[in-house]
């Protein structure tokens, strides 16, 4: 039984002069703990789709189900990581990470201990009292990941979270995020323009056509690649073959 179901999702943006259809009739199912990526040309509605799953947009048609229940009936949090980390510069790293529980009214010592534990797991145990300006871009994105995990989200949405980083940092962060999400058994949806990133991190990859966004094709990542870290998967011979297959399909969608 699927953990996340997107059923016949369509969405239109209305203006005074008319409307723009962003996505149309998108249906798919995601198993719990799976990592799914969305690729497609500009205008295919990838970010719109994530916004609907996050509950930030109400779709014009269709519905999102989590554990067979409508999203609007869910109390469980959904985490969202963006290209920018959106850390508060006047707060310490610890204060940024505990923000979610604090807003929910939980200011217990256990919350601080959990923050310290998560930061330690991702190699930032020594920066609790530092400020964002004292950290590199990659470290700030790790803090953003820690802040997201603090609320124990059922689903983690990633909207090009590595695109602003240099290539070396990006590769290192792919490994860290992938390993962390697997250890927490998080169901994750990634929007990216990077075919290699999608292959290296995902269980399944969906291609979207544009204007409006529709599901075009699904690629499954071979099991032997999924068992490797993202960096190691990029070195495997089968990685390039899958890359070329996806590249050809994306070219048809342009």
Residues 182 and 196 in one domain: yes
DSSP state of 167: H
Residues 186 and 227 in one domain: yes
Q: What is the mean pLDDT of residues 201-208?
A: 95
Q: Where in the sequence is the domain holding 146, given as residue range(s)?
A: 85-151
Residues 89 and 177 in one domain: no
Burial of residue 178 (CB within 10 Å: 0-12, 13-18, 19+) is: buried
Least Cα distance to 246 among 225, 231, 228, 232 occurs for 225
- Over residues 18-76, the pLDDT tens digits come to 778 889 999 999 999 999 999 998 888 888 999 999 988 999 999 999 988 888 877 66
Residues 240 and 176 in one domain: yes
- Ranges assigned E (strand) in the chain: 4-15, 18-30, 35-39, 61-66, 69-70, 78-81, 155-159, 187-191, 204-209, 214-220
Q: Collect all residues with Cβ–Cβ distance below 8 Å to 93 and sequence separation of at least 6.
A: 87, 119, 124, 127, 128, 129, 130, 131, 132, 135, 143
Q: What is the mean pLDDT of residues 175-194?
A: 92
Q: Are strands 214-220 and 187-191 parallel, antiparallel or unpaired?
A: unpaired
Q: pTM value?
A: 0.91
Residues 160 and 243 in one domain: yes
- Over residues 94-120, the pLDDT tens digits come to 999 999 888 888 888 999 999 999 999
Residues 69 and 165 in one domain: yes
Residues 117 and 163 in one domain: no
Residues 11 and 67 in one domain: yes
Tally of domains in the chain = 2
Q: Collect all residues with Cβ–Cβ distance below 8 Å to 65 and sequence separation of at least 6.
A: 4, 5, 7, 71
Which of 134, 151, 168 is where one domain is finished?
151
């Amino acid at each position: 039984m699927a953990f996340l179901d997107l059923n016949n999702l369509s969405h239109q943006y209305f203006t005074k002069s008319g409307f723009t259809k962003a996505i149309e009739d998108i249906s798919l199912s995601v198993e719990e703990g799976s990592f799914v990526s969305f690729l497609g040309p500009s205008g295919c509605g990838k970010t719109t789709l994530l916004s609907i799953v996050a509950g930030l947009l109400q779709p014009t048609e269709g519905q999102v189900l989590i554990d067979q229940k409508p999203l609007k009936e869910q109390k469980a949090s959904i985490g969202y990581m963006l290209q920018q980390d959106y850390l508060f510069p006047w707060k310490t790293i610890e204060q940024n990470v505990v923000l979610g529980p604090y807003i929910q009214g939980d200011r217990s010592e256990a919350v601080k201990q959990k923050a310290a534990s998560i930061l330690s797991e991702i190699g930032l145990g020594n920066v609790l009292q530092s400020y964002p300006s004292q950290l590199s871009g990659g470290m700030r994105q790790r803090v953003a990941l820690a802040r997201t995990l603090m609320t124990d989200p059922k689903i983690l949405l990633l909207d090009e979270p590595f695109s602003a980083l240099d290539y070396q940092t990006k590769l290192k962060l792919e490994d860290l995020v992938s390993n962390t999400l697997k250890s927490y058994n998080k169901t994750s949806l990634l929007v990216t323009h990077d075919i290699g990133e999608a292959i290296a991190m995902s269980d399944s990859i969906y291609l979207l056509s544009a204007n409006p966004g529709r599901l075009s094709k699904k690629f499954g990542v071979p099991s032997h690649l999924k068992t490797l870290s993202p960096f190691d998967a990029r070195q495997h011979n089968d990685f390039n073959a899958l890359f070329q297959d996806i590249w050809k399909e994306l070219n048809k969608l342009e």
